[in-house]
Every structure is written in C-alpha cells, then in structure tokens.
Structure 1
Amino acid sequence: MAWTRDELEAAFANYQKTVVEATQTRDWNIFADQFTEDATYLEHAFGSFAGREEIRRWVTRTMTAFPGNRMPEFPVSWYVIDEERGWVICEVQNPMEDPGDGTEHGAANITILHYAGDNLWSHEEDAYNPMNFLAMAKKWCRHAEKSGNLPDDARAWLDKMANVPG
C-alpha cells in the first residue's frame, strides 16, 4: 500500500518523540506499543524478535541494563522516506552519557522501519557493527573508571566482556 509523505513524516515524527519519551522516563513499553501485534524486529547483536510482546520483553530488558541505560538520547542524523513502499530509513546516533571526564563516546546505526498505518510499524531492523558498539562501550567504561564514575552494572558488564575482543 502506498502512503502519503505527510502520513509517513507524521508517523516517523511520532516514533522519534516516543523514543525521546521512553529515554527520559525509562518506560520502554511505550516504544514497544508502536509496533503491530505481529511485527518483526531484527537487531544485529541480539537477534530476531517476532511480535509486539517479544519486542517489548527484549527492549525493556536491554534498555534498562548497561550499556543501553547509559544512552541519554538517540538523535536521528538523517532519514529518507519511500512513500510508495512505506519505508523509512535513518541514521541514529547512540551517544553515551558523560563518563565523568567530558569525553564523548557513541556509535551510529542504520534503522529501517516499515510502516503499517495508524502510527504503527510492522518491522524494524537496526543495522550496525556490534563490534564497534562493544569497543565504544568498553572505552566508555575505561574513562568512567579513571574518573571514579564506573557504575556497578557497567563494571559487571565490563568484567563479563573482558575476554571478548573489541
């Protein structure tokens, strides 16, 4: 089905607004509510998820644990819209909070969304190199540790990832 550009722009603006709200409130249920009941989600490090409730379980678990819980925002750098097919493709920045020394740490991903109508999405894919994210998060931990600001959950994550290259 073809969608109007205005509808896709409005739906994508709502998607971005919901991500901001979920980040600020730490309620990632509202993010999951943007998907159809039979939606699919492909995440390059965590795998595939089928259905809104599986997406909900994954996103609430992931975004409330390190490193997701140390990402204060997810700004979109650019996006393109395919009205005829209902796709929105964008680059999302994933910055970490200040580790305590003023350094900046982050990585980007490409998000591919398929629109289903009524402000709902039937598919999302987050395409990125997981090794780049791993190296970035480890570097953030080293800076936080040197600054005396390494949270316990980040320390546990770093210990768990100690033997993983990156």
Structure 2
Amino acid sequence: MAFDRAELDGMKERWLQANIDVEKAGDWRPLADFYTEDATYGWNYGPKNDFMAVGRDEIRDIAIGLEMDGLDGWTYPYQSWVIDEQTGDMIGLWKQINEATRADGTHYALNGVQGSWFKYAGDFKWGWQRDFFDYGNVTALFAEMLTDGVITPGLQGRIDRVLNADGPLPGWYPIGQTPVPMW
C-alpha cells in the first residue's frame, strides 16, 4: 500500500514535536496515542533477551512507561530519517544524551548508531516500532555513570529493578520467543 509523502512527513513532524514535549515533561506515556490499538513495539536486550509490548496499553504501560521510567534527564534527538512511501517504512536515527556532563564538559551519551524502525499504519498512527541500539554500549555508559556518581535515583531504581528481578520482567522474553515476531 503506497502512502502520500506529505502525510508521512506530517507524521514525522507530529512525532518529533511529541517527543520534545514528553522529554520536557519527563513522561513518555502520551506517545502511546501515536500507535494503533493492536500495534507492537520491540527491541533486543543483548544476547539473551528481547523486549516486546503488544497493543497500545502495553506500549503505554510497559514500553514507554515502565521501560522509560528512570530515564529522566535524557533526550533522544533525531538526526535523520529514511522514509519509503511505497511501504510506509520510516527509520528515524537518534542519539541518546544525558543532561549530566563529564569533567571534560562532554555529555554522557550512548555511542554507536541508535534508531527506530516504524511501520506507518495510516491515520497518523504507527502499526509497529522496532528500536535498535548497542546494548553493550548502554551497559558501559551506565557503568561509567555509576562510577562517576551521576546516576539519578530514578535510573538507579531502574537498574536495581533489572538486576534484582525474581523472574522475567514485563515484556522481556528469551531470544526468539516474543509473542509476535521481531521481524
């Protein structure tokens, strides 16, 4: 199904503004309104786990709720987009930057390439989203921030939740066992 380029560009602009708004508010949950009721949102968490939220409610409550809680002080500025009008595929490449700075004045930021691959569903909604980032670099960055004493209480709580879980965390699945395919 082909899509009008102006509509896709409009979706991108609405998404970018909403991201700016939720970063300022420190609550990403309002972004759930950009997904269809049956949308899915997933990513990889290293060599053992994938993450998948199924449906708008899980996206709101788990993917952009629980998984983003504790990431206050972070921004995710988009750097570039690739848009395919024929398929509705949209890839947004972003950085992950913390407001804290190192002794040399540089911000704590995730190295490597990060991004989101979206499938546009029409009516200014995403049908699905898959994020990609280097989990090893995330781990190294959080370890550096812990060592430097710049971890916020929210981020420390998020780290503790992952490290001290008694079982699988909501939305976390062994590699290849998500309820819908990653690809």
Could you report, residue by residue, the CA deviation over 1:63-89 in whole angstroms, capped at 9, with x for unpaired residues? 222xx2231x21111111000000111
Q: What is the distance in 2 between the residues matched to 1:96 and 1:52? A: 27
Q: Report the 3-state secondary structure (helix = DSSP H, G, I; strand = E; otherwise coil) of the residue aligned with 1:98.
A: strand
Q: What is the distance in 2 between the residues matched to 1:160 and 1:38? A: 27
Task: Mark the CA change 1:159 to 1:142 in structure 2 (over 3 Å): closer, same or farther.
Answer: farther
C-alpha contact (below 8 Å) 1:2/1:83 kept by paired residues: yes
Which residue of 89, 93, 96 corresponds with 2:95? 93
Structure number with higher relative contact order (C-alpha < 8 Å, ≥ 6 residues apart)? 2
- Identify, as 1 or 2, the structure richer in helix: 1
Task: Mark the CA change 1:142 to 1:17 in structure 2 (over 3 Å): closer, same or farther.
Answer: same
- Structure 1 residue 134 corresponds to structure 2 residue 139: yes
Q: What is the distance in 1 between the residues matched to 2:157 and 2:92? A: 32
Q: TM-score by structure 2 length?
A: 0.76
C-alpha contact (below 8 Å) 1:141/1:154 kept by paired residues: no
Q: What is the distance in 2 between the residues matched to 1:31 and 1:161? A: 23
C-alpha contact (below 8 Å) 2:72/2:154 kept by paired residues: no
Q: What is the distance in 1 between the residues matched to 2:155 and 2:135? A: 17
- Structure 1 residue 17 corresponds to structure 2 residue 17: yes
Q: TM-score by structure 1 length?
A: 0.83
Q: Report the 3-state secondary structure (helix = DSSP H, G, I; strand = E; otherwise coil) of the residue aligned with 1:33.
A: helix
Is 39-48 or 85-94 further displaced after alignment?
A: 39-48
Match of 2:2 in 1: 2
Match of 2:108 in 1: 105
Could you report, residue by residue, the CA deviation over 1:48-105 in whole angstroms, capped at 9, with x for unpaired residues? 111000111111112222xx2231x211111110000001112111101114643322
RMSD over aligned CA atoms reads 2.2
Q: How many pairs are equivalent?
A: 155
Letter of the structure 1 residue corresponding to residue 106 of structure 2: T
Show structure 1 runs of 5+ residues with no match. none
Match of 2:73 in 1: 70
Show structure 2 runs of 5+ residues with no match. 164-183
Q: Report the 3-state secondary structure (helix = DSSP H, G, I; strand = E; otherwise coil) of the residue aligned with 1:83.
A: coil
Which residue of 42, 45, 51 corresponds with 1:47? 51
Q: Report the 3-state secondary structure (helix = DSSP H, G, I; strand = E; otherwise coil) of the residue aligned with 2:37.
A: strand
